[in-house]
Amino acid sequence: MTTTADLSLSYEAAPTFSTPLRFFLTAPLFGALAGVVLLFVPDLLGSRWTPGALALTHLIAVGFMLNIMFGALFQILPVVAGAAIPNARIVAGIVHVGLATGVASLTWGLGAGSPPFLNAAVVLLGITFGVFLVAAGYGLRRTPIAQATPRDLRFALLGFGIAATLGMALAMILSGGLSLPLATVVKLHVGWAWLGGSGLLLAATSWVVVPMFQITPNYPARLTRYWALLTCAALVAWSAAVLAGFSLLEFILAIALAALSGAFAITTLRLQTRSRRSVPDNTTRAFQLAMSCMIAGLLCIVAAHRFDHDVWPVLAGILILHGGFVTAIVGMLYKIVPFLAWLHLSQAGMKAPNMKKLQPDGPIRKHLIAHAVALAVLLIAALSGSTLVVRTAGVLVMLEFGLLFANLMRVLGAYRIARSA
Amino acid sequence: MNDITTLMSHDHRSCDESFARAETAISRGKWDEGTAELEKFIAELETHFTAEESILFPRFESVTGMTEGPTKVMRGEHADMREAVERMRDAVSRRDKDDYAGEAETLLILMQQHNMKEENVLYPMCDAQLAGENLPPTLAKQLGREQAA
């Protein structure tokens, strides 16, 4: 009997260090670029619909978040789901270049309102998503689905696929190549990108990562068993309500989705209070901030439905993307990268410095503080509308992503020193 | 507990808690208590490895005929963890708190990525392949008896 799981668990099946790392090192550059945009286009936070806000959102969501999520998936699919991506190195090369050029093109297309750039983004990101989803789907095709995480990873990939398709449709509407109701497609795109893709991936990862690394009790079995199913079902029903124009049903389902997301965030926070580890590490702190921001962001979404003011959606976007996803992702990155350095060193038969020598706590803490300050100033900037505060936020965002990049390079430096020793 | 995945995953969590008890004591500079907790953790970890290496893996290998497959990878990772545990012991004997924290962090992530592979891939495969073998009571006895000793 042979299954894909036979070999996928071995070190030999794990991708080379450069496979995930190229994504991890590119992502902070797009984050820093978001800071540059804030610095030079300070009126963009006035509404979620300004070209600058759209560009900014995609620099963070696609340029930063998706870059890291893709890089991490190349690494974790074999470990968590027993699914090895075939020809990972070549696939990663295509996905990495496609994503970087695609998001650059998309950002310029959105920010400058340029149809040729939007069209180029559709082609580049279309190829990127297509290649990644086919390769991941191929790796996953015969692996066991006994646990919640491998199943939910499949849902997340499906969610990303739907969000990407809707996003490409939107870019084509904006460039004049497709005639569809813009507002409806935007709504669906945001719903699927946020919850169907990113939200499901974060939850699927958390089911495993929180209990294991923070040594907490497991998530309640009912939550891990039904959360992703319910969220997907509610998303499908909500999409149908949006398409049919049933606004009351749409509102009720949006509240249901917010409640589901809130249940996930609150459960995570409660589990963390029961951690057996006496000293919360940086990842735990990052998760606490992320989950609190998610909850605050959800409240802003509810407020946006209730009060017709442009600030609520902007606050929700900052809290959920920068406060929620970016923080959680950074927290996990600081576990993954030094471990990979350690793993590749020890497997090459070299003496690997321990995790804290490869990635000391001090610089991580500095970065997390910079990130939290940038978040606070961003929120003040959105509330006050002051150009000066927005520009300050821009500088802080550049700084925080610069620190993240420097910290990751530090691990790489320590890795190289150990390799040459 | 009626299946291998549940039983063995539960034992993983139990090892984690012992790991955290040692970490807590040592981070507070309670070296004697920390040393004792670390030894308890190591004993529990070793019991778990033995249950797998002497009962679960051989059954899996003989039923599936796969001796070069996932169980070989898991045995290799057990060896890596045994080495990591020795470095923790060494740091404790030198009363080096920082070094212990770094080595413990290294073991924790090594152990958890190993657990993920077992819980998400290998144990479900064992449950599927060894359904008629009624292994859980034997494994539970091994884990429980040695833990009590």
A210: pLDDT strictly greater than 50:
yes
* Inter-chain CB proximity B127 and A355 less than 8 Å: no
Phi, psi of A278 (to 5 degrees): -75, -35
> What band does B2 get if pLDDT is binned at 50, 70 and 90?
low
Q: Is B56 helix (H, G, I), strand (E, B) or coil?
A: helix
Share of chain B above pLDDT 90, in %: 73
CB A52 within 8 A of CB A37: yes
Interface probe, candidates A6, A9, A142, A214, chain B, greatest B C-beta count within 10 A: A9
A2: pLDDT strictly greater than 90:
no
pLDDT of residue B139: 93
Phi, psi of B3 (to 5 degrees): -135, 165
Query: Tell me: the pLDDT tens digits for A153-192?
Result: 889 999 999 999 999 999 999 988 889 999 999 999 999 9
Q: What is the DSSP string of A289-326?
A: HHHHHHHHHHHHHHHHHHS--THHHHHHHIIIIIIIII
Long-range contacts of B129-136 (CB under 8 A, 24+ apart): B129/B60, B129/B63, B129/B64, B130/B4, B130/B59, B130/B60, B130/B63, B133/B59, B133/B63, B135/B4, B135/B55, B135/B56, B135/B59, B136/B1, B136/B2, B136/B3, B136/B4, B136/B7
For B12-28, b/e burial (b = at least 16 CB within 10 A) is: bbebbebbbbbbbbbbe
Q: What is the DSSP string of A106-137?
A: HHHHHHHT-HHHHHHHHHHHHHHHHHHHHHHH
Interface probe, candidates A275, A354, A359, chain B, greatest B C-beta count within 10 A: A354
Structure tokens at A348: 């090459």
A113: pLDDT strictly greater than 80:
yes
> What band does A8 get if pLDDT is binned at 50, 70 and 90?
low
- Name which residue leads in pLDDT, A405 or B113: A405
Kindly report the CATH number assigned to the domain that includes residue B110: 1.20.120.520
Q: Exposed, middle or buried by CB within 10 Å (0-12, 13-18, 19+), for A47?
A: middle
Mean pLDDT along residues A109-121: 96
Q: Is B10 helix (H, G, I), strand (E, B) or coil?
A: helix
- Name which residue leads in pLDDT, A214 or A119: A119
ipTM (interface predicted TM):
0.78
- Name which residue leads in pLDDT, A5 or A66: A66
From A281, which residue of chain B is nearest by alpha-carbon distance?
B105
> What band does A144 get if pLDDT is binned at 50, 70 and 90?
low
What is the extent of the structural domain holding B138? 4-148
Q: What is the DSSP letter of A341?
A: H
Share of chain A above pLDDT 90, in %: 75
Give the span between the Cα atoms of A348 and A17, in whole angstroms.
12
Q: In the 3-class helix/strand/coil scheme, how is B98-111 assigned residue by residue?
A: HHHHHHHHHHHHHH
Q: Exposed, middle or buried by CB within 10 Å (0-12, 13-18, 19+), for B91?
A: buried
B57: pLDDT strictly greater than 90:
yes
CB B123 within 8 A of CB B4: yes
How big is the A-B interface in CB pairs under 8 Å? 107
> What band does B5 get if pLDDT is binned at 50, 70 and 90?
very high
Give the span between the Cα atoms of A381 and A384, in whole angstroms.
5
pLDDT of residue B1: 44
Q: Is A257 helix (H, G, I), strand (E, B) or coil?
A: helix
For A225-263, b/e burial (b = at least 16 CB within 10 A) is: eebbeebbebbebbbebbeeeeeeebeebbebbbebbbe
A21: pLDDT strictly greater than 50:
yes
Give the span between the Cα atoms of A319 and A293, in whole angstroms.
5
Among B148, B142, B146, smallest CA distance to B7 is for B142
Give the span between the Cα atoms of A71 and A68, in whole angstroms.
5
Q: What is the DSSP letter of A198?
A: I
CB B7 within 8 A of CB B139: yes
CB A71 within 8 A of CB A22: yes
CB B117 within 8 A of CB B56: no
* Inter-chain CB proximity A1 and B65 less than 8 Å: yes
Query: Tell me: the pLDDT tens digits for A329-379?
Result: 999 999 899 989 998 998 888 888 999 999 999 999 999 999 999 999 999
Specify the amino acid at residue B26. I
Neighbours of A40 (CB within 10 A): 11
CB B133 within 8 A of CB B121: no
Q: Domain coordinates of chain A in residue numbers?
A: 8-420
Give the span between the Cα atoms of A147 and A284, in whole angstroms.
24
Structure tokens at A318: 């900052």
- Strand residue runs (E) in A127-249: none
CA distance B44 to chain A (A): 16
> What band does A143 get if pLDDT is binned at 50, 70 and 90?
low
Q: Per CB distance under 8 Å, which residues of A are interface residues toward B?
A: 1, 3, 5-11, 79-82, 143-144, 146-147, 149-150, 208, 211-213, 215, 218, 275-279, 281, 335, 339, 342, 346, 353-357
What is chain A's mean pLDDT, rounded? 91
Interaxial angle between packed helices A115-140 and A88-112, expressed in degrees from 0 to 180 and rounded to the nearest 10: 150
Tally of structural domains, chain B = 1
From B98, which residue of chain A is nearest by alpha-carbon distance?
A356
Query: Tell me: the pLDDT tens digits for A237-293?
Result: 999 999 999 999 999 999 999 999 999 999 999 999 998 887 788 999 999 999 999
CATH topology of domain A8-420: Cytochrome C Oxidase; Chain A (1.20.210)
Structure tokens at A187: 């709504």
Q: With contacts defined as CB-CB under 8 Å, which chain B residues touch A8?
A: 121
Query: Tell me: the pLDDT tens digits for A74-108?
Result: 988 877 777 778 888 899 999 999 999 999 999 99
